[in-house]
Amino acid sequence: MNKARTAILISGRGSNMMALVEAASAADFPAEIACVVSNRADAKGLDFAAGRGIPIRVIDHKAFASREAFEAALDAYLRSMNVEAIALAGFMRVLTAQFIAGWDGRMINIHPSLLPAYKGLHTHERAIADGAKVAGCSVHLVTAELDGGPVLLQAEVPVLAGDTPDVLAARVLKEEHRIYPQALAWLAERIIEERE
């Protein structure tokens, strides 16, 4: 089967990356994971990816003089791996408009809120502090506006009395792992169609 070659970018735990790798191990999944890239050498998810035989690459942003130089190295690696799609999965670097333009319509991100609510960090703390009754997660196309691109898929969970940010985060994370593979499948199918 013809699959869309996908890079997953991480900075830490990598549980969403693992969910994507698991989904992509199915014969009929339209994306294959071409590589996993981290900007941090200590990202826990790297070992998992390596154990699955996926090429891993650390590109440490601190080793570069500027954001642009870091992104040039990242872009060069991705192109060298014939990557067609990018899934950001807890990747904690803000990307420039220039980098994003090079992957227009081919880069997605998972965010732990019901966008457009709670862009940025500490989403669960803020939802609880506001007395929100519903929380959730969103997969969106990455555009130059941080957490502001078109939403592809969302899932809701209830906020329950007594929830701490960690408890709520765990409830949302389960849904992240469910919807992110679905959204990647859609993106991959579109890319394959465009190729034909």
Residue from the set 8, 9, 15, 20 that interacts with ligand GRF by CB under 6 A: 15
13 binds ligand GRF (CB under 6 A): yes
Active-site choice (111, 122, 124, 140): 111
Question: Is 111 a residue of the active site?
Answer: yes
Closest distance to ligand GRF from the beta carbon of 14 (Å): 5
Among 89, 135, 159, 185, binds ligand GRF (CB under 6 A): 89
Give exposure, 17-35, as e/b (b: 16+ Cβ within 10 Å).
bbbbbebbeeeebbbbbbb
Binding mask 160-189 for ligand GRF (x = CB under 6 A): -------------x--x-------------
Task: By CB under 6 A, name the one of 4, 7, 9, 12 that touches ligand GRF.
Answer: 12
Query: Is 111 one of the binding residues for ligand GRF (CB under 6 A)?
Result: yes
Q: Which stretch binds ligand GRF (CB under 6 A): 50-58, 94-102, 109-117, 181-189?
A: 109-117
Q: Quick check: 112 binds ligand GRF (CB under 6 A)? A: yes
Task: Give the Å distances, CA to CA, from 118 to 68, 129, 146.
Answer: 27, 12, 11
* DSSP at 91: -
| CA dist., res. 89 & res. 78, Å (int) | 16
| Size, binding site for ligand GRF by CB under 6 A | 14
Indicate which single residue of 46, 78, 110, 115 sits in contact with ligand GRF (rule: CB under 6 A). Answer: 110
Q: Which of 122, 54, 66, 127 is nearest to 93 (CA)?
A: 66
Under the criterion CB under 6 A, does residue 147 sit at the interface with ligand GRF?
no
6, 9, 16, 139: residue in contact with ligand GRF (rule CB under 6 A): 16
The residue type of 31 is A
Q: Which residue is nearest to ligand GRF (CB)?
A: 90
As a dihedral over the C-alpha atoms of residue 65, residue 111, residue 84, residue 47, rounded to 10 degrees, the angle is: 70
Helix (H) or strand (E) holding 107: strand 107-111
Kindly list the distances between the CA atom of residue 17 and the CA atoms of 6, 20, 34, 36, 64, in Å, as whole numbers in the listed order: 11, 5, 12, 8, 25
Task: Catalog residues that contact ligand GRF under the rule CB under 6 A.
Answer: 10, 12-16, 89-90, 110-112, 137, 173, 176
Active site residues: 111
